[in-house]
Amino acid sequence: MAAPIDFYFDFSSPPGYFASLKIDELAARHGRSVNWRPILLGAIFKVTGQAPLPGIPLKGAYVQRDWVRFGRLLGVNFTLPAQFPFLSVASSRAFYWLHGRDPQLARNFARAVYHAAFADAKDTVPAEAVAGIAERLGVARAETLAALNDAGVKDKLRQEVDAAIARGVFGSPYIIVDNEPFWGADRLDQVERWLATGGW
C-alpha cells in the first residue's frame, strides 16, 4: 500500500472541517490512508505574520460568505459558532493524547469536535466541552481533564505544531501527498487528481 497522506487542520477552521468530511473517502478511492494532524493556526500565524481571516477588512466578510456557500455546494451542515474565531488548543491536545491510545478513537473524536463546532455551532473551547465530547466516545471525563493539564500532552502538541511549521504548513487544511503540498478545501479536486495520476 502506498504511503498515507498527511491531513493538517485546525479545529477552528471551516475549510478544515469541510476537508475532514471528504478526505478519508477521497484517499481510500486511491488506496491511501490519512494521517490526521491537528495544528494551531495561532502559533503558525506568529511565524507567518498572518491574522485570523474574519478580522481582515473586506476579505473577512467575503470568506464568511464563501464558507456558507461552499458548505451548501458540498451538501454539508455548516453554521459558525457564536464565538469565532476560537481557540482549539484543548481539542488538539486531547486529539494527540487519544491518538497515543487508539488512532481510530482519535479520528472519531476529531470528527465529533468538528461536528460540534460547525454543524451544531457549539462551544468546543473549554476543557469541559472537550471532555464531554470524548465522554460520548467512551472516555472517562476525569481522564480527559487530567490529560489536558498533563505536561507531556502539552509538549506533544507543541512538537507536532513545530514539525508542521518545519514542513511548511501555514494554513488549514494543508494536505501533503508524497511530498506535494495542497492548501485549502478548494484543492481537494487537485489532491484527487494527483492521487489518480501521480502528478501533472
The residues that touch a second copy, with contacts defined as CB under 8 A, are: 44, 47-51, 56-59, 61-62, 65-66, 69, 72-73, 165, 168-171, 181, 183-184, 186-187, 190, 193, 200
Q: Given the complex with a second copy, which of 33 and 48 has the nearer CB atom?
A: 48
Give the long-range contacts of residues 44-52, CB within 8 A, separation 24 or more: 44/161, 44/164, 44/165, 44/169, 44/170, 44/171, 47/165, 47/170, 48/170, 50/170, 52/85
* 91 vs 16: CA distance, rounded Å: 14
* 98 vs 68: CA distance, rounded Å: 31
In angstroms, what is the minimal distance from the CB of 28 to a second copy? 23
Q: Given the complex with a second copy, which of 2 and 47 has the nearer CB atom?
A: 47
In angstroms, what is the minimal distance from the CB of 19 to a second copy? 14
**What is the CA 38 to chain-centroid distance, rounded?**
5
In angstroms, what is the minimal distance from the CB of 93 to a second copy? 23
In angstroms, what is the minimal distance from the CB of 38 to a second copy? 18
Q: Which residue has the cell 481533564?
A: 145
In angstroms, what is the minimal distance from the CB of 73 to a second copy? 6
Q: Given the complex with a second copy, which of 110 and 175 has the nearer CB atom?
A: 175
Indicate the pairing of strand 174-177 with strand 5-9: antiparallel
Q: Given the complex with a second copy, which of 143 and 180 has the nearer CB atom?
A: 180
Q: Which three cell numbers stand for residue 98?
A: 487519544
| Cα–Cα separations (whole angstroms), residue 124 to 37, 129, 155 | 18, 5, 21
Q: Given the complex with a second copy, which of 147 and 177 has the nearer CB atom?
A: 177
Q: Given the complex with a second copy, which of 144 and 172 has the nearer CB atom?
A: 172
In angstroms, what is the minimal distance from the CB of 41 to a second copy? 12
